[in-house]
Structure 1
Amino acid sequence: MFILLHLFLQCLGQTQTFLNLEIGIHILQTFQRGPKPNHKIVVKLEQAIFDSTQLLICDSEITLLKENCIYDVNSYDLKRNTQIIQLVHGFKVEKYQMQLLSMKQFNEFPQVIGTYSKSISNFSITITTLDISECASQCQNEGICKDGMCECVQGYFGADCSIVALDITHESRYHKNGFYYFNIKGCDQNSCSLSINFTQVGTYRQTCYAEDWYLLQQNMIEKREIKISDVQSCLSNINNQKLSPQQFSYYIFYFETECENSQEPNIQNTKIILIIVITTVGGSISLCCCIICYYYFFRRQKEEHQILPTISLYPKTDIQRYLPKQLYKTLINQYPGLANTDECLICLDKIKEQDQVRLTYCTHIFHVQCLDNWLEKNRICPACRSELDEVTLIKIAKLRKNDSLMFENKASRLYGDMGTPNLTMTPQLRSVEITHRH
């Protein structure tokens, strides 16, 4: 019937390897007495490849019905290569310890360690003794070992925090063989509920984690929806089992088929439309701001100053040639019509008789230094915006033979009501080249 293999390890902590064991039950060791106080016996089965071998600890004997036995249910169901069982003595084992931690109380019956396999099996067995406060396996995914149990952060489950799950409320598609969770910590019956509709019939398992830790042992559900409204029945198990609310306030789902949330596309479309609207409005506002900035800070500055790009500085020899320096008193005596101009429009100071000035061809008077500084950056008259660039002044110089005709238009400004002057008596004025803008 069954092949019985009795193994008695002389020293705990040693590892025994078994190769090509036949199908059926194999008795590995029998414990006649439990571990010493405040300690536990940890039995670990490891395989290179999972082959459906199941590690068991039972009272007295192992049967096919596995009555009075305990095994690492989650590791076996998930086809993990490692299974761990803990044997304790001298303190009460809670329900969550029996299920989640695969922990068994050593009672008056001898405890039998063995395996059951449905195929030829290969594995190794390690038996060690640990302090009751130590964890039988290393806590993964930032889990912390506390009082012999791994405390997992949100999204991780199992005895060693190795089972990874996603928040079911944040997903639009649920994948086959994937775990998902619904956090009910801090919820009350009226404000905490879950409602998800699928695009087709979905197949999944569902459990209150505070009630049952055998994640794949739940009944299969085939529906087009998930609806949870009564969370109090799940939360009450936390107090009954003396569990940490932070670690156990969850519903956990395991999907056997691919499912898609029928409500998510609408949400996605709304998000896409919202993003488009925000982007469009933001882009329009940015474009308007750029246009306004260009107009007020660049275009306006160009219109007001008209800085010549080809001439960085106005040579002083050219200024003297086309706009000669003159004594203001002499200039006024020669051209009485300018007597009304007694203020420099650049510095806004009153021009004195002994000040040196320059007279532009558009008949405006400025202090020599004021106009020189101005012409280093600008090529227009500060008063009337007439061009004072070198090209214009050279053009005026070439038209000296038409001096009398050009001067006639400025006579009233230069001489006031004294009538038309004798143009031959104004050599200095002709050097200024009075003319209209061309």
Structure 2
Amino acid sequence: MDVKGLQLFAINGIFYKQLSDKQKVTITLTYQEGEFPILLICDDKPQDDKINDYNSIQKENCKIDINAYDQKVEMQTLSLTKKEKSQTFQANFNVYYMDNSNIFIGAYSEHQSTFNISSKISSLYNCAKECKNRGRCANGVCECQEGTFGDDCSVVGVNIKDQIKLSPNTLYYQDLYSTGTSFQRTISNSIPIRQQCYVEMPFFDEGSLIITNTLEISNEKIEECKNLTQALENESQIKLNSYIIFKIYSEFDVSIISNDGKGDGLSKIMMMIFIPVFVLIFFLLVCCGVKFYKRKLDETQVPIKVEQQNEEKNFINLYIPTHKFEQVTELIQEEVNIKDLYCSICLDAFSSEHDVKITYCKHIYHSECLTLWIQKTKVILINIQICPLCRAPLDEKTLAQLINQRSETMIDQILTKIQPDSKQIKIFTLNSLSSLNGPNTQQAFQNLNYQRSLVFVEQ
């Protein structure tokens, strides 16, 4: 069609009669050349012969695909349905309610324009346009991904959150679901700026312009826009994001010189407080848990350790009883030499009143020194208890084999050999002590399979 001025398309009456409640009619204008035309749907034929701006279109109660017209997109699309929709729904998705058969469907161009016009009836659940930028058709409208706009998701915006400068002819947005109680940015120059709640005013280049150097969203405006978005989401049954959109109108870029977002600042302050407090509480809980576990472990281990030590002392005292050094030297004085005057464990000299133990391998130690030595070697050498000098086994099993629990010890046997009426103590050598155990004990000792360790145990 090659025309100019206001053009009427006589198709409305036919569609109104044929259209069911579950259908919609879609009118499409495809531009070819000449002046860019405007596709119009009005309640009645416009009285003004010039409809070339948004204010005159509103005055005549007309609907247009305003974003496509402003951005000079080749295809403009409007849909009509007998199913009543809210004003917000109609403006966002270009799907309008048709309540009579006398509506005006046409186009306007002040100068010569060439374009094609077409129409079709389709299901309410079909989208009038192809959804762009990974948007999807749902319930007859396009569900857009974050940062994409328009009834077909063809417009891509830029998140203003991390920007340090703003450029002309760029659509910026602030996601209100990630905004605190308010939002504010100060820019380098006072310039014309348009900002609006997207679902309330989904037109990128329409609405009021203000000259300012501040981008500001109050808490009241944030909550209002969120509520409008939620209402549209419930009506359309698709997922929507809540946005405030910004567009600047200047010849050059402008810089953002400060980020005074109270809401963002409050969120950051809350995070700065919450994270350290959470870490501190977690650390205290861990410390308390470790301390409690350690205390319980100590409570269970200390009695066991004491009991084990007592058992070890008992078997040492049973098989290697304690005597006074004076008594031992008097009984075995023939074998006492300079090396027997010192304890080989602590290296201190014996005194007559010292408590000592004599092993079956004929070595003398302080009683306490030998007991501690056996306990220590049991831990260090993994249950190998040996004589400090000759490494002969001193474990309970070995001692039990050599000396029966009910038999007399070496010293006891010496004492029983003393004649009661003798005025002098009969002296025995250490060589004779081993013979007191008899041939059976000698045989047992010879058959015992032990190895003398060459391991050095630190004192």
Q: TM-score, normalised by structure 2?
A: 0.50
Q: CA deviation at 1:242?
A: 4.2
Structure 2 partner of 1:28:
9
Segments of structure 1 that go 5 or more residues without pairing to the other structure are 1-17, 265-438
Q: Is residue 2:68 matched to residue 1:79?
A: no
Which residue of the partner structure matches residue 45 of structure 2?
61
**Partners of 2:92 and 2:199 within 8 A in 1:** no
- CA contact 1:30–1:112 (8 Å) conserved in 2: no
CA deviation after TM superposition for structure 1 residue 163, in Å: 0.9
- Which of 46-55 and 152-161 deviates more? 46-55
- Does the C-alpha gap of structure 1 residues 245 and 105 become closer, same or farther in structure 2, counting only changes over 3 Å? closer
Q: Are 1:112 and 2:104 matched, yes or no? A: yes
Q: Following the alignment from structure 1 to structure 2, what is the Cα–Cα distance between the partners of residues 50 and 233?
A: 42
What is the aligned partner in structure 1 of residue 199 from structure 2?
A: 210
Stretch of structure 1 that moved more, 77-86 or 51-60? 51-60
Cα shift readout 1:317-353 (whole Å, capped 9, x = no counterpart): xxxxxxxxxxxxxxxxxxxxxxxxxxxxxxxxxxxxx
Q: CA deviation at 1:192?
A: 3.6
Is contact 2:143–2:238 with CA below 8 Å preserved after alignment? no
TM-superposed CA distance for 1:49, in Å, is 4.7
Closer, same or farther in 2 for the Cα pair 1:174/1:246, shift >3 Å?
farther
Overall identity of the aligned pairs, in %: 25
Which residue matches 1:232? 223
Cα distance change, pair 50–181 in 1 and its aligned pair in 2 (3 A): farther
- Match for residue 174 of structure 2 among 169, 182, 193: 182
Q: Could you tell me which amino acid in structure 1 is paired with residue 25 of structure 2? A: I
- C-alpha distance in 1, partners of 2:118/2:73? 16
CA contact (8 A) 2:172 2:246 kept: yes
Q: Distance in 1 between matches of 2:34 and 2:121?
A: 25
Q: Which amino acid aligns with 2:241?
A: F
Q: How many residues align?
A: 241
Structure with bigger helix share is 2
1:226 Cα deviation from its structure 2 partner: 0.7
CA-atom RMSD in angstroms: 2.1
Q: Classify 1:235/1:130 alpha carbon distance in 2 versus 1 (closer, same or farther; 3 Å).
A: same
Which one-letter code corresponds to 1:88 in the other structure?
T
Q: Is 1:198 the equivalent of 2:187?
A: yes
Deviation digits for residues 134-165 of structure 1 (CA, Å, limit 9, x no counterpart): 10000000001000110101110110001110
SS of 1:48's partner is strand
SS in 2 for 1:170: coil
Give 3-state SS (helix, strand or coil) of 2:240's partner: helix
Shift of 1:68: 3.2
Quick one: distance in 1 between partners of 2:61 and 2:192?
Answer: 32
Distance 1:211 1:245 in 2: 17
* Cα distance in 2 for residues equivalent to 1:29 and 1:260: 52
Cα displacement (A) at 1:248: 3.4
Q: The residue matched to 2:99 in structure 1 has which SS?
A: coil
Q: Which residue of 1 aligns with 2:312?
A: none
Q: Which amino acid aligns with 1:237?
A: L
- Residue of structure 2 equivalent to 1:147: 139
Could you list the per-position Cα deviations for residues 99-121 of structure 1 after superposition, in whole angstroms to 9, with x for gaps in the alignment? 12222222124232211112211
For residue 186 of structure 1, report the CA deviation from its aligned partner. Answer: 5.5
8 Å CA contact retained: 1:172, 1:260 = yes
Contact preservation (8 Å) 2:12, 2:101: no
SS in 1 for 2:32: coil
Distance in structure 1 (CA, Å) of the matches to 2:88 and 2:241: 11
Correspondence list, 1:418-429, <5 A: none
2:226 alignment partner, SS class: helix
CA deviations 1:265-314 (Å, max 9, x no partner) are xxxxxxxxxxxxxxxxxxxxxxxxxxxxxxxxxxxxxxxxxxxxxxxxxx
- Do the aligned partners of residues 245 and 98 (structure 1) sit closer, same or farther apart at CA in structure 2, a change above 3 Å counting? closer
Q: Provide TM-score, normalisation by structure 1.
A: 0.52
Aligned-pair CA distance for 1:85: 0.5
Task: Tell me which amino acid in the other structure corresponds to 2:66.
Answer: V
CA shift, 1:39, in A, is 1.0
Residue 185 of structure 1: SS of its match in structure 2? helix
Cα separation, partners in 2 of 1:219 and 1:206, compared to 1, 3 Å: same
Amino acid at match of 1:27: L
Pick from 23, 35, 39: which aligns with 1:51?
A: 35
Distance 1:201 1:127 in 2: 46
SS in 1 for 2:196: strand
**Structure 1 contact 210–235 (Cα < 8 Å) conserved:** no
Letter in 2 for 1:255: I
Q: 2:153 aligns with which of 152, 157, 161?
A: 161
Offset, 1:50: 7.2
> Are the equivalent residues in 1 in contact too, given 2:165–2:256 (CA < 8 A)?
yes
| Rounded Cα–Cα distance in structure 1 between residues aligned with 2:34 and 2:194 | 23
Indicate the SS of the match to 1:41.
strand
